[in-house]
Amino acid sequence: MEAQLTDQTEADSPLERYLRLLEIIAAFPGRLALADVAALSDLPKTTAHRLLKGLVKAELASGGQGGRAYSVGPRLSRILHATAEDGWLEALARPTLAALAEDSGEACYLTKLVGSRVLVAVSQAPEVRWRSYVQPGIEMPPHAAATGKAIIAYQSEALIRQALAAELPKLTVNTRSDEAWIREEFARVRDRGYATCVGEIDEGLAAIAAPVCQSDGLVLYSVGMTGPLQRIMGDKLPHHLAALMEASRALANKLSIGTKMYQAAVSAPE
């Protein structure tokens, strides 16, 4: 072997190999087959195949099976988004949330996906009066909360399973904890484009929520509105829904630019 030059290269751990492959498919997203990856990485086809399968299973890469065109999976984005201290997010989302809260007179908030959990990132109560307020940082149950459903329903099967593996408490008589129903509910959410919560967390409270879709189709955030059941689900529901969907679109626009700038800037040199 001509191992003169490769000799000085540092230890080639399995982790390093995974990352090298990931960088290769990241450089040419969606246009590399197994043979290409193997050639570019100087690895035997067999080894490249095994490593790629590992990357796909970990959701770091996607494609592979039959489609034979690998690209970067959703997990990287999820990790980087989870790092965000919510300062910049707040600055971008606050105006939209404030307008939504003012228009509806209800509490509105933005949630984000952290691992397989859904946390409140930014919260905004309407000016009018103290009605309700959603504390930033609290966790939204994926099977009951509108914002929880609105995010989890759009995730990969692996992440959905992970989310549903957690304890799913029956909070009220309306709460459904059986997986079959929850999956049907997720299908309804995807079908309608928004999620609801009708007395499933608190008997008198309802909520509606919409996913915030990135340009690449990933859903890492959702925007929600909550209040007394009659006020949310009454005559004004169509109006609330229209405003919510409009807010979702506006946020998608801002966040898709803001997150990319944030990703460029995050991480510390030393």
Partner DNA sequence: TGACTCGTTCCGATTTCCGGAATACTGTTC
Partner DNA sequence: GAACAGTATTCCGGAAATCGGAACGAGTCA
Residues 6+ apart with CB under 8 A from 18: 51, 54, 55, 60
- Of 197, 218, 243, 247, the one binding a copy of itself by CB under 8 A: 218
Alpha helices, H only, 105-145: none
One-letter amino acid of 165: A
One-letter amino acid of 250: A
x-marked contacts with a copy of itself along 129-168 as a string, rule CB under 8 A: -----------------------------x------x---
Residue 73 found at the interface with a copy of itself (CB under 8 A): yes
- Of 33, 34, 76, 250, the one binding a copy of itself by CB under 8 A: 76
In this chain, which stretch among 66-74, 97-105, 121-129, 235-243 interacts with a copy of itself, using CB under 8 A?
A: 66-74
- Residue 115 interface partner, choices a copy of itself, DNA, none, CB cut-off 5-8 Å depending on type: a copy of itself
Token pair of 257 as six digits? 């630019």
Least Å distance, CB 147 to a copy of itself, is 17
Helix (H), strand (E), coil (C) string for 4-21: HHHHCCCCCCHHHHHHHH
Least Å distance, CB 270 to a copy of itself, is 7
Residue 236 found at the interface with a copy of itself (CB under 8 A): no
Site residues (CB under 7 A) for DNA? 11-15, 17, 33-35, 43-47, 49-51, 53-54, 64-66, 68
Token pair of 155 as six digits? 């995730």
Interacting positions 88-127 with a copy of itself (CB under 8 A): 88, 90-91, 114-115, 117
Residues 6+ apart with CB under 8 A from 224: 108, 109, 110, 111, 145, 146, 147, 150, 207, 208, 209, 210, 244
